[in-house]
Amino acid sequence: MTKPKVLISDKMDPNAAAIFRERGCEVDEITGLTPDELKEIIGKYDGLAIRSSTKVTKDILDACTNLQVIGRAGIGVDNVDIPAASSKGVVVMNTPFGNSITTAEHAIALMFALARQLPEANAQTQAGLWPKNGFMGVEVTGKTLGLIGAGNIGSIVATRALGLRMKVVAFDPFLTPERAVEMGVEKADLDTLLAKADFITLHTPLTDQTRNILSKENLAKTKKGVRIINCARGGLIDEAALKEALDSGQVAGAALDVFVNEPAKESPLFGTPNFICTPHLGASTNEAQVNVALQVAEQMADYLVNGGVTNALNMPSLSAEEAPKLKPYMALAEKLGSLVGQLAHDNLTKISIEVEGAAAQLNIKPITGAVLAGLMRRYSDTVNMVNAPFLAKERGLDVREVRHDREGVYHTLVRVTVGTSQGDRSVAGTLFGNTVPRLVEMFGINIEADLDGHMLYIVNEDAPGFIGSIGTLLGKNGLNIGTFHLGRRNAGGEAVLLLSMDDAIPEAVLEDARKLPGVKTVKALKF
């Protein structure tokens, strides 16, 4: 079996390469590549491990003929075109927890630096001025810290601030009242936070909703004399408006580790009194760089070797422990999706994935992804679980997931229902022995069949002699039947025939089959 091949294109801890090799991957460490140089070689790699220097653009991704996964050692993925990666079927992972403590500590350090004006005091002291009476700081004890973003890093900052005997007010749309109580913080809306906070620190990703969250208007709502820290993302603060607020005294001090444009060679904030900055050092500790490098290697190797998906930004997570249990279900789901995709006669409007029995106890997201991958192959031959949801959304397909607690005839069942102009069409399958995918129902007709290889699907009127007729036709054309599966609604009613064939069926034979008495539908299938 060929080993997956990984390129490490940014400088990382050498133990990352060692982890890849230990887990069965080949590794090349080639840093400092230009975009053209990366394009030239990327086609031979299954995985790409990066930090912030490598820019993975659509142009680069178009050259990725084998790439399965991009791993970012760190949290920010601004340097990866995620929609382009998704459309190419490439998993994008990051390591959101490897540098959390380091970034949180940097925010706390900047808060102290602002409170006691440490950079200015240091500069003047080293210049021989001894400005003992020139600096009057403030204590942080008893002050209110406004936390914009209460996720992983924000929660660590809150813990540290509470340890400093600060009060913490948090604004985060995803923060539940229960989680706020658990963290020991007050949940508030943004305006309340702005009015109450003595210090504000930001810990949220940059999205359309958070861009310039500290705008000129919102800076005017802050408590006069507030001090602001941003170790999250450039673009969360309107830098020109912050400059005005510093000059007016509305904001007493600001500390930025991130800027809208990086490297920040110039900024309206540079040289402003009570402004301090660092060059995006939030994750820059020895411990953090080792942690994120090791984590990205572990995550990528798990995916390439075992199918485990951790911290992916464009597909559901699937642990290496879950993968073996879910793989048979994903195989079943993909076949069911492929079946309805091949049999659909018009554009689909909706799809429902239902699970019951043992399947209802599992992570449904990978099952949904597998159904969509099978379905979307009617549109593209490069579909996988990563880009299938992207393609479904692009086509306006309404995707629903339903989990049933009820017990049915089968110990486990996956049902796929699609909406067509002729109404809903449903297929269902189970696992034999918890491992072998098996079709058990098709458009309301009970029929058991393996979905594999070349198959012939026929809908006909149930009448004596039809099986002999189709057998004679196939035999006359030298086509051998592997297995034979038959189901019907009732005697003399509509019947469904599924034949597995040793070879593909020529179109001329399909046309002859359509001419047989009582035949309504004939279609060749491929799994």
Active site residues: 233, 262, 280
C-alpha 474/C-alpha 312 separation (Å) is 48
User: What's the rounded Cα separation, in Å, for the pair 174 and 207?
Assistant: 14
Q: Which of 407, 444, 410, 455 is nearest to 429 (CA)?
A: 410
| Residues listed for the chain | 527
> CA triplet 185, 190, 194: central angle to 5 degrees?
85
Nearest by Cα to 57 from 32, 76, 43, 38: 38
Which of 296, 230, 247, 231 shows the shortest CA–CA distance to 50?
296
Cβ atoms 274, 110 nearer than 8 A:
no
Q: Which residue stretches of 164-238 are H helix?
A: 177-183, 190-196, 216-220
Query: Whole-angstrom Cα distance, residue 331 to residue 328?
Result: 5
Cis bond upstream, residue 14 (ω within 30): no
Torsions phi, psi of 169, nearest 5? Answer: -115, 130
How far apart, in Å, do the first and last CA atoms of the chain sit? Answer: 23
Amino acid identity, residue 272?
Answer: T
Amino acid at 314: N
| Ordered DSSP codes for 491-520 | TTSEEEEEEEESSPPPHHHHHHHHTSTTEE
Compute the distance between CA of residue 527 and CA of residue 336 in angstroms, rounded to an integer: 10
For residues 194 and 34, give the distance between their C-alpha atoms in angstroms, rounded to a whole number.
Answer: 44
Report yes or no: 228 and 237 within 8 Å, Cβ to Cβ: yes
C-alpha 81/C-alpha 313 separation (Å) is 11
Whole-number Å distance between alpha carbons of 418 and 350: 6
Q: How far is the C-alpha of 482 from the C-alpha of 382, rounded, in Å?
A: 29
Residue 257: how many other CB atoms lie within 10 Å: 24
| SS3 sequence of 123-154 | HHHHCCCCCCCCCCCCCCCCCEEEEECCCHHH
Candidates 276, 76, 108, 273; CA nearest to 201 is: 108
**DSSP-derived 3-state class of residue 370:** helix
Query: Among residues 234, 229, 271, which one has the least CA distance to residue 253?
Result: 229
Q: Which amino acid is at 32?
A: G
- Three-state secondary structure call for residue 341: helix
